[in-house]
Amino acid sequence: MPNVTFSAGAYQKKAESVIARLTKKRKPILIEGGTGLYIKALLYGLWEGPAKNPVLRQTLIAQKGDALYQKLIEVDPVSAHKIHFNDRYKIGRALEVFYATGRSISSFHAEHRFSSGSQRSFCIIGLRRDRTDLFRRIDARIDQQFKKGLISETRRQIAKGLSLELPSMRTLGVRHIIAYLQGKQTLETTVSLLKRDTRHYAKRQMTWFSADPNISWIDLKEEESPEEIFARILPLLHREQNGSIPKDS
């Protein structure tokens, strides 16, 4: 639901519960997804960090957005590059960690990134598209989202009285439509910015996953069907069972 906050930690706990249940039934487990932090949380565990300080966090979040973001740029430019300047909660947490430890949160994340805490074996297969083909598909998908009522759906959520500060109201697409509905930009600009920002997000995803040495990559052909892709994945799964799997296909 839009008014419910769902974190990587919450996902990890729910997923672990489902995996445990399926394991008892001896069922094969297939996990699909593209959000790097959530997959990382499940496979490698999360860096817990110092205990949260609600008073400090609220003090930080209460500051003006520009000043808060500028401070993050000063102490942790790596995180500032990754966090949207309007995401006051993530900015607040990054600054909270810095003030508590004297170190940037990005340095802790870098240390922990792919150090496995998992007690189970797993096979990770990544699907990789040519960038031109990927961007074309992103643009076409966004055009379809607008045709299927992205604006009216966002308007309905706002009409329910949902806070614009909720994570669900600051996601890709939703925050762009809100800016349009508030009269801050034209529809043409909104579509253009959403396509641009989604392409940037896709590039960040690829950068994230490319750093994981445990992923076996399959380079997709432009017109390859889902059935053809699956036919290429299946041998990798069989090879994984035998303990040998190539990292690129």
When pLDDT is averaged across residues 72-87 and rounded to a whole number, the result is 88
Residue type at 146? F
Q: Model's pTM, two decimal places? A: 0.73
CA distances from 34 to 22, 64, 126, 208 (A): 22, 33, 9, 10
Q: How confident is the model at residue 178 (pLDDT cuts 50, 70, 90)?
A: very high
Q: Report whether CATH 1.10.3720.10 matches the domain 132-210.
A: no
Q: What is the CATH number of domain 51-116?
A: 1.10.20.140
Query: Which residues, other chains included, contact 188 with Cβ-Cβ below 8 Å and sequence gap of 6+?
Result: none
Q: What percent of the chain has pLDDT over 90?
A: 45
Q: How far apart are CA 150 and CA 156, in angstroms?
A: 10
Residue type at 139? D
pLDDT at 112 over 80: no
Residue-range domain boundaries for the chain: 1-45, 51-116, 132-210
The pLDDT, as a whole number, for residue 51 is 74
Class of residue 245 by CB neighbours under 10 A (exposed 0-12, middle 13-18, buried 19+): middle
Q: How far apart are CA 39 and CA 198, in angstroms?
A: 20
φ/ψ (deg, to 5) at 192: -65, -45
Task: Extract the tokens encoding 87.
Answer: 């995401």
Domains 51-116 and 132-210 belong to one CATH topology: no
The pLDDT, as a whole number, for residue 174 is 92
pLDDT tens digit sequence for 3-21: 667 778 888 889 999 999 9
What's the N-to-C CA distance of the chain in angstroms?
Answer: 38
Buried b (16+ CB within 10 A) or exposed e, 132-144: eebbeebbeebee
Q: How confident is the model at residue 244 (pLDDT cuts 50, 70, 90)?
A: low
